[in-house]
Structure 1
Amino acid sequence: MAPMNLPVALPRLSAVADDYDVLLCDVWGVIHNGRESWAEACDALTRFNERGGHVVLISNSPRPASDVIAQLDALNVPRSSWKAFVTSGDATRAELAKRAPGPAMAIGPARDATTYEGTGLTLVDNTADAAFLSVTGLVDDATETPEDYRERLLPAAERGLDLICANPDRIVQKGDQIIYCAGAIADLYEEMGGKVIMAGKPFAPIYDLALIEAEKMLGGTVDRKRVLCIGDGTITDVLGAQNQQLDCLFIAQGIHGDAAKNDDGTLDPARAAKLLDAENTTSRYAALALTW
């Protein structure tokens, strides 16, 4: 067996801040947990901006960034901690618009309705009338699991309908709970033989949007060697950075519990590497939390 690629333990962002012009920073799991923001992480991003850097938040939220900003404000994420914001919803909307007028069978909570606004799609509530499926999440992620959708998805899989997944995340931590996301439904659909299309992390379209925002702020071409991705998702944030050949800081706590900790509560790079290796990913750096 080949030796694992150990990430460098990085307790503080300030240790490498001068090496980067742009941060592509995940949101849920890095700067908040859905119920509260983390002051130290927000402060780290603010300090990076104040030193002349540029933070682009890059989220697998299925809604457009303009619609998610209010959520960040409500969680007391300071606007000084970011300069631009792109979401899986932004990238997915372009894919949805290509398929207008559909019709599309939409699965997800009512709060995600803005994902479809302006796309020209007709939405239906059954597979018989649909040309494809679009999933933004579970209707009630507090009580449902992906398995609750098997019966609903079966006719679509049998018809060979595409499923557009607006949020590739499988799970996120909400407070002290782990909840399922649209990516978990997409996994089930693939297991049933269906075809899934995604535009969020780890796929290229969302990174294209994020780097366009970075170019606007820099006023020129982005040096990809001076871009650092930050995130806690091995198969979204880390794999996405790897696919884009960008450096990554893996936040190895949150959804990972204590799996990457030493007995004294510090990061164990070897344990972090095991989490990464399980998904065939590597990261240049790892930390338990984002701090300055």
Structure 2
Amino acid sequence: MIRVVENLAEISSQYDAVFCDLWGCLHDGVRALPEAVEALRAFKAKGGKVVLLTNAPRPRADVARQLDRFGVPTDCWDTIATSGDSARVAMFRGVIGEKVWFMGQNYDLTFFEPPHIVENPVPIERVDLEDATGIACLGPFEPHADPAVNRPEFLYAKQKGLKLLCANPDIVVDRGGVREWCAGALAELYTEMGGTSLYFGKPHPPVYTLARQRLTALGADVPDSRILCIGDGIGTDIKGALGEDLDSLFITGGLAREETRTELQPESQALEDYVASFQITPTFAIGHLR
């Protein structure tokens, strides 16, 4: 049986740092979740470090500005590690060549600013698909459209042998209760069609390496046994934690709200059935971060 806890404080003494997801945990894509803010504040007040570990395909400075707009106060977190930063490093090291076809929204264009940590970055040029050496996928052009609308472009890209760099492995996200497709859905489709997709966010190792680097930069030498991963994605947050041999707290009231029958807390049997269907078991579970 998965241990369902009442709040973060119940288990926080076991950890010196948390890697906390954003959407569905700390905010709902529109506004901050007050109980989650207070839970992280309390953790920090006892000396804990909070790394916001997100599959946002943007640089951490952009994510910080977004959090401010959502009303997430800066005193509930210490630093941010994004899949976007991890993917940018790879792109500017040349993993998809110099001529890149971009998929995403205009507000994602900061992705093309070279990261400071890359020496001698490859010069990247955004071009039409016909001229591209690779694809930088930050998300769909239309987040509510079925990913299959991209099949014609993906068929052409596959025939050219283009690699797709996925800056956000999430399949879907809920923005204020409305579900949207993410870059992970496009990468999944491209792979199913025979193309090659490269992933840099949760559950894949590069973004966890970045999160540990961010933690070390805070002056915190925290062993893996004292890190807790918090998230609502069974196939991203929890799978990633398992792959890194880190403990996890599964937020059942996010993406799996209906499947786990979560109101205040998940329904026990529904939770067990849900994790069994993925064969991925979290260390702890809770309805909402509080």
TM range (shorter): over 0.9
What is the match of residue 237 of structure 1?
A: 237
The unaligned stretches of length 5 or more in structure 2 are 115-120
TM-aligned CA deviation for residue 256 of structure 1: 1.6
CA-based RMSD: 1.5
Partner deviation per Cα, 1:253-288 (whole Å, 9 max, x = no partner): 2222332137x8532333223222222211010111
What is the match of residue 132 of structure 2?
A: 130
The unaligned stretches of length 5 or more in structure 1 are 1-5
Q: Helix, strand or coil: the match of 1:256? A: coil
The amino acid across from 1:124 in the alignment is V
Distance (Å, rounded) in 2 between the aligned partners of 1:117 and 1:265 = 42
Partner deviation per Cα, 1:118-156 (whole Å, 9 max, x = no partner): 253111122x21111110001221x42211111111101
What is the match of residue 109 of structure 1?
A: 105
Give 1:186-265 correspondences, 5 Å limit: 186-220=187-221, 222-261=222-261
Matched, 1:266 2:265: yes
What is the match of residue 5 of structure 2?
A: 10
TM-aligned CA deviation for residue 94 of structure 1: 1.0
User: What is the TM-score of this pair, normalised by structure 2?
Assistant: 0.93
Q: Is the 8 A contact 2:171 2:181 kept in 1?
A: yes
TM-aligned CA deviation for residue 101 of structure 1: 5.5
Q: Helix, strand or coil: the match of 1:273? A: helix
The amino acid across from 1:251 in the alignment is I
What is the match of residue 81 of structure 1?
A: 76
What is the match of residue 288 of structure 1?
A: 287
Distance (Å, rounded) in 2 between the aligned partners of 1:270 and 1:195 = 38
Distance (Å, rounded) in 2 between the aligned partners of 1:45 and 1:219 = 17
Aligned residues: 282
Matched, 1:45 2:45: no
Q: Helix, strand or coil: the match of 2:135? A: strand
Q: Is the 8 A contact 2:84 2:111 kept in 1?
A: yes
Q: Is the 8 A contact 1:8 1:269 kept in 2?
A: no
Distance (Å, rounded) in 1 between the aligned partners of 2:110 and 2:272 = 38
Distance (Å, rounded) in 2 between the aligned partners of 1:250 and 1:266 = 11
Q: 2:124 aligns with which of 121, 124, 128?
A: 121
Q: Is the 8 A contact 2:97 2:133 kept in 1?
A: no
User: What is the TM-score of this pair, normalised by structure 1?
Assistant: 0.93
Distance (Å, rounded) in 2 between the aligned partners of 1:70 and 1:266 = 31
Distance (Å, rounded) in 1 between the aligned partners of 2:194 and 2:53 = 30
Partner deviation per Cα, 1:58-98 (whole Å, 9 max, x = no partner): 00000011111111001000101100101000100111011
Distance (Å, rounded) in 2 between the aligned partners of 1:283 and 1:257 = 16
Q: Helix, strand or coil: the match of 1:214? A: helix
